[in-house]
Structure 1
Amino acid sequence: MKPTAQRDWRVSRPSRKNRATFDQTSALGGLTLALFAYIVYHFIYPLISKGLLW
């Protein structure tokens, strides 16, 4: 038998029931949004409320 490479390189598709998976991209996006909200709430908002930024 001749050694051949596997033709199907696709990963197995997730089932239709489990479409909303929490993958690495979602985790990184959520972390970025949380960091942005933290910066705005703790640094930008006090400057605006004191009238120093506008």
Structure 2
Amino acid sequence: MKYTTQRNWSSSRSKTRVLFDQTTALGSITVALFGYIVYHFIYPLIAKGLLW
């Protein structure tokens, strides 16, 4: 069996970049959704004194 190295290095790098971009986008959406929930549902309850 002959050992060979991968010749196309650019494809592995581009996949890593795409994966990083997708992870960043998903994390940003998660943080934005959490902020929306806190601002629109939890903060008014705290302001009215219903939670504390």
Q: What 5-or-longer segments of structure 2 have no aligned partner?
A: 15-19
The SS at the match of 2:27 is: helix
Superposition TM-score, scaled by structure 1 size: 0.64
The CA RMSD measured in Å over matched residues stands at 2.7
Q: What 5-or-longer segments of structure 1 have no aligned partner?
A: 14-21
The SS at the match of 1:23 is: helix
Match of 1:40 in 2: 38
Match of 2:13 in 1: 12
Count of residue pairs the alignment pairs up: 44
Superposition TM-score, scaled by structure 2 size: 0.66
